[in-house]
Amino acid sequence: YSMLIYRGEDETFTERYCNAVLPPDMLGVLQSGNEGLNMIRRVVEWAGKNRDIASLRRLSDVKLKAPLTRANMLRDFLASRGHVEASSRRIGTRIPEEWYRVPTYYKGDPAIFYGHLEDIPWPSYAKSLDFELEVAAIIYKKGRNVSKDRAYDFIVGYTIFNDFSIRELEAVELKLMLGPGKSKDFANGLGPWIVTRDELPDIKGLRVYAKVNGETWCDTKIEDMQWDFGDMISYVSMDEYIRPGDVFGSGTVTGCTGLDVGKALKPGDVVELYVEGIGTLINRIIKA
């Protein structure tokens, strides 16, 4: 865009041309596959060599949206053993044997992602809110019956995922043996950006923490996942396509919810999630 404007091209033509060559949102880029990613690499390389005309902005001067404001599909898994153990204890049961057999997941709303520093609206039907610290893998290739040893080739990169939850409603939905649904489908935090897999090959062993209003609620590492993203992709793709723009949630990192420390979020709270190698995702809870 900057290059064409610098050369004297009309702004309307330039905008249309750039939108045709490079999709205007990340979902479109992912759906373009390697061609879209290579175009971004060339743009970044050009901007680095032509800083005087590249219209670069400081990160502090821009407001980030979620890296995917809309996904193709959202699947969120239940993969960390400690999280499942804690959930089972709270309802007086043990981990179901079936959990060790398949990487189970639920499907969420793929169009309610809030980015870094965006406010999360308090649902009118909620009495309390909670956060869940997760990592999301972003898919950029279409595939079916993908073997585990090839699965990571379908991941373009990783970002932080905050699976906001209404606990009192979630408890009702799970008793009905379907869902969760409305206890989740009001907001998801995603960001601050996607770190490509060449920069971050895997998430095992990464340090994570969560803070609320500056107070640390959890500080741990990702190290007890029964199922990794390779397992998840292989399982989901059995006789079913995964597609560019699919988001796979890792499931809650053990100990990284308010429920684990006996606390709940309230209006005005600021939730800060950190994942080593990715960065920090911050959202404030607001109530109209």
What pLDDT tens digit does each residue of the chain (288 aa) get? 565 555 666 777 767 767 667 788 899 999 998 888 888 888 888 788 888 777 788 899 999 999 999 999 999 999 999 999 998 888 888 999 999 999 999 999 999 999 999 999 999 999 999 999 999 999 999 999 999 999 999 999 999 999 999 999 999 998 898 889 999 999 999 999 999 999 999 999 999 999 999 999 999 999 999 999 999 999 999 999 999 999 999 999 999 999 999 999 999 999 999 999 999 999 999 997
Is 62 among the domain residues?
A: no
Q: Are 32 and 136 in a shared domain?
A: no
Q: Are 90 and 223 in a shared domain?
A: yes
CATH of the domain at 236: 3.90.850.10
Domain that holds residue 239: 73-286
Q: What span, in angstroms and rounded, lies between the C-alpha atoms of 257 and 249?
A: 15
For 122-269, list the strands marked E by DSSP.
133-139, 143-144, 155-162, 188-196, 207-212, 215-221, 241-242, 246-249
Query: And the tokens for 84?
Result: 């499942």
Q: Are 205 and 87 in a shared domain?
A: yes
Count Cα neighbours of 155 within 13 Å in the Cβ-side half-sphere.
Answer: 31
DSSP conformation class of 252: P
Is 67 among the domain residues?
A: no
Query: And the tokens for 102?
Result: 């398949």
Is 63 among the domain residues?
A: no
Q: Are 82 and 133 in a shared domain?
A: yes
Number of structural domains the chain divides into: 2
Closest CA to 151 of 183, 197, 119, 96: 197
Q: Are 50 and 175 in a shared domain?
A: no
Q: What span, in angstroms and rounded, lies between the C-alpha atoms of 232 and 105?
A: 9
Q: Are 172 and 48 in a shared domain?
A: no
Is 77 among the domain residues?
A: yes
pTM: 0.92
Q: Are 105 and 43 in a shared domain?
A: no
Is 64 among the domain residues?
A: no
In this prediction, residue 24 carries a pLDDT of: 80
Q: Are 52 and 77 in a shared domain?
A: no
DSSP conformation class of 100: G
Is 212 among the domain residues?
A: yes
Q: Are 28 and 107 in a shared domain?
A: no
Is 134 among the domain residues?
A: yes
Closest CA to 194 of 136, 120, 271, 122: 136
* Domain endpoint, select from 25, 56, 87: 56
Is 61 among the domain residues?
A: no
In this prediction, residue 15 carries a pLDDT of: 72
Q: What span, in angstroms and rounded, lies between the C-alpha atoms of 184 and 201?
A: 29
Query: And the tokens for 252?
Result: 């809650």
Q: Are 52 and 162 in a shared domain?
A: no
Q: Are 40 and 83 in a shared domain?
A: no
Q: Are 244 and 161 in a shared domain?
A: yes
Q: What is the CA angle 218-74-160, rounded to 5?
A: 30
